[in-house]
Structure 1
Amino acid sequence: MKRQLILENGDRLIGQAIGSEEEKAGEVVFNTGMTGYQEILSDPSYCGQIVTMTYPLIGNYGINRDDFESVDPSIHGLIVREAADYPSHFRSQLSINEWLKKENIPGIQGIDTRKLTRIIRETGTMKGKICSMDVDVEAVVKELQASNSPTDQVSRVSTKNRYMNPGVKERIVLVDYGVKKGIVKDLVTEGYEVVVVPYSMTAEEILMLQPDGVVLSNGPGDPTSIPHSVETVKGLLGKTPIFGICLGHQLLALACGATTRKMPFGHRGSNHPVKDLQTGQISITSQNHGYTVDAESLQGTKLKMTHINVNDQSVEGVKHLEYSAFSVQYHPEASPGPEDAKGLFKEFKSIVENNQLATGGKTHA
């Protein structure tokens, strides 16, 4: 069965239907990863987006029960050149088409994904809709042009209630803006007691949990759409060590007086080179974001840029000059992606332990 993708600029690409029959709109983005499609499909940071995979064959190792980054996927659609009908892997339980149908996510295969990627690179990300062939194309284009980009993505994907992952070491409060399972897993692996809390919690409520450190998680959308979270980070600065990841990195920057801006087409993939400005070391990183910290806005703040993107010189990491707070734009848990940056969890651990020594031990009961 044929299906089409209609973009808000009027472009129309026709392919074959996979997944659900539902018609869905969203911001059309592309990801350059060759593997890791299951983690991408279940990453809450893709909330409301239609993802184009630039690698031509997707689904060849199927879908398994273990590699999901969230329980309920929030992606609005998937576009691929070819979806494998017969996956081959000992852990595979479903084909990608079967899983998309199960989760009511529409998809398209057989379109020219290179052409679509060039359109996005040249014009920037734009809204699109996965539709049947019998819709009024002009009406859909007008609908897309008139619609506003969502601002409630974080509220959709953040946990509604706090919950605990037991551990034997320090207590880490993880603020969930759309956290991936991999981040929780890496923190638990360090032995921490990890308390995951909703993004709506205030600094006072978080501090009442007596954390030994706070992690600001990844998440979807524009960081300026959750100003109360910026105020929360302001209230935490200087009171507990902070580690920001992706959206959490942007929120830390905003809390310290810097600004953020929307990128033309963002960074989405598992091959982005990042340079540590202190050591000169280059790490290959996994990324998924459409906004970035404005480098010039760091001037006059208490933040120092620590990492830079080798490709476009965008800000990839900052560190506070007075307080125990640092952040990175990429995903150190590497789900999916290379593990070059996993050492950042050890760096955070060192900061937490040093803070414990400085304050005479744990502060929570």
Structure 2
Amino acid sequence: PESMTDRSYRAQILVLTYPLIGNYGVPSAKERDEYGLPKHFEWTEGISVSGLVVGELCESPSHWHQTQTLSKWMENQGVPGISGIDTRALTKKIRENGSILGRIVHSLPSPHSDYALVDPNIRNLVAECSVKEPVVYNETGSPRICAIDCGLKLNQIRCFVARGARVELVPWNYDLNSNNFDGLFISNGPGDPIMCQQTVDQIQKCLEQSNKPIFGICLGHQLLSTAIGCKTYKMKYGNRGHNLPCTHHGTGRCF
């Protein structure tokens, strides 16, 4: 449920390589943590992915938290999935070719079928999934963190609030005023950062008007980099430690 409700995967087909999927089932979305946030999901509005590909699907889950099967959860939310796929072979193709366009269909296309592939990156996915109005968590907390919602995970709010912070979650194109916060956080999210020029403009305004700390995660870091003049491009392989190792200069240790 965490990956499937992660808005960074919006409009993407998620491929899972673990052999058996769904054996834990899906827990209740009504279960909340001590901060009032959904306990087992990364956002409040259901499934974010556009499709799911698995090797083997379990239809008889066994877990004390589960309230429904994975397939029933997806069916209720109108999200297609497919099983019986060699997902590790598929992952090797994706790894060698980079992220590729695809779709899930019921049968092989005939020569005259119209199975056009639509690139989700031409849409402003951040605008689609961002909150529409500001939301405040831990009203009396400190320091005051302004979080730009580009597709944020609920666990990020949880981490802030657990440390006593007040978090104001604002839309991706919100008119920022640096007098209203002690630090600016730019969240992760889906799609191409070039689509978020309004966010970049707001970050640049904050950089010019104050010296308050700013940090970003994933897409948020790309937007912060864009705001100071950097250019971004999509890498063939995701930049994770096992693909592009880095060395700590102080110790010589490689990560």
TM bucket (normalised to shorter chain) is 0.7 to 0.9
Q: Does 1:114 align with 2:84?
A: no
Q: Distance in 1 between matches of 2:111 and 2:94?
A: 19
Superposed, 1:148-297 pairs within 5 Å as 149-166=121-138, 167-202=140-175, 205-208=176-179, 210-237=180-207, 238-266=210-238, 275=246, 277=248, 280=251
Question: Which residue of the partner structure matches residue 98 of structure 1?
Answer: 72
TM-score (norm. length: structure 1): 0.61
Q: CA deviation digits over 1:227-272, x for unaligned, max 9? A: 121121111224321121111111111111221111224368x988
Aligned structure 1 segments of 4 or more residues deviating by more than 6 angstroms: 270-274
Question: Unaligned stretches of 5+ in structure 2?
Answer: 29-38
Superposed, 1:14-163 pairs within 5 Å as 38-65=1-28, 66-72=39-45, 73-133=47-107, 135-136=109-110, 139-141=113-115, 143-144=116-117, 149-163=121-135
Relative to 1, partners in 2 of residues 1:212 and 1:279: Cα closer, same or farther, differing over 3 Å? Answer: farther
AA paired with 2:40?
D
Relative to 1, partners in 2 of residues 1:149 and 1:255: Cα closer, same or farther, differing over 3 Å? Answer: closer
Pairs aligned (count): 241
Q: Distance in 2 between matches of 1:243 and 1:201?
A: 17
CA shift, 1:213, in A, is: 0.6
Question: Which residue of the partner structure matches residue 32 of structure 2?
Answer: none
Superposed, 1:304-323 pairs within 5 Å as 310=255
Q: Distance in 1 between matches of 2:157 and 2:217?
A: 12
CA shift, 1:114, in A, is: 1.8
Contact in 2 for aligned 1:275/1:281 (Cα 8 Å):
no
Contact in 2 for aligned 1:173/1:206 (Cα 8 Å):
no
Q: Distance in 1 between matches of 2:252 and 2:61?
A: 38
AA paired with 1:78?
L
CA shift, 1:221, in A, is: 0.7
Q: Distance in 1 between matches of 2:106 and 2:149?
A: 36
Q: Distance in 1 between matches of 2:79 and 2:216?
A: 30
AA paired with 2:183?
G
Contact in 2 for aligned 1:178/1:218 (Cα 8 Å):
yes
Contact in 2 for aligned 1:61/1:87 (Cα 8 Å):
yes
Q: Distance in 1 between matches of 2:146 and 2:181?
A: 6
Relative to 1, partners in 2 of residues 1:271 and 1:75: Cα closer, same or farther, differing over 3 Å? Answer: farther
Q: Distance in 2 between matches of 1:70 and 1:107?
A: 20
CA shift, 1:139, in A, is: 3.3
Relative to 1, partners in 2 of residues 1:172 and 1:156: Cα closer, same or farther, differing over 3 Å? Answer: same
TM-score (norm. length: structure 2): 0.85
Contact in 1 for aligned 2:121/2:191 (Cα 8 Å):
no
CA shift, 1:45, in A, is: 0.4
Calculate the aligned-residue CA RMSD, in Å.
2.5
Q: Distance in 2 between matches of 1:160 and 1:242?
A: 22
CA shift, 1:171, in A, is: 0.9
CA shift, 1:180, in A, is: 0.7
SS of the residue aligned with 2:104?
Answer: strand
146-155 or 38-47, which moves further after superposition? 146-155
Q: CA deviation digits over 1:131-185, x for unaligned, max 9? A: 12275366345x12x7674331001110000010024321111110011100011
Question: Which residue of the partner structure matches residue 3 of structure 1?
Answer: none
Q: Distance in 2 between matches of 1:113 and 1:50?
A: 12
Q: CA deviation digits over 1:5-46, x for unaligned, max 9? A: xxxxxxxxxxxxxxxxxxxxxxxxxxxxxxxxx111000000
Q: Distance in 1 between matches of 2:108 and 2:246?
A: 49
AA paired with 1:67?
H
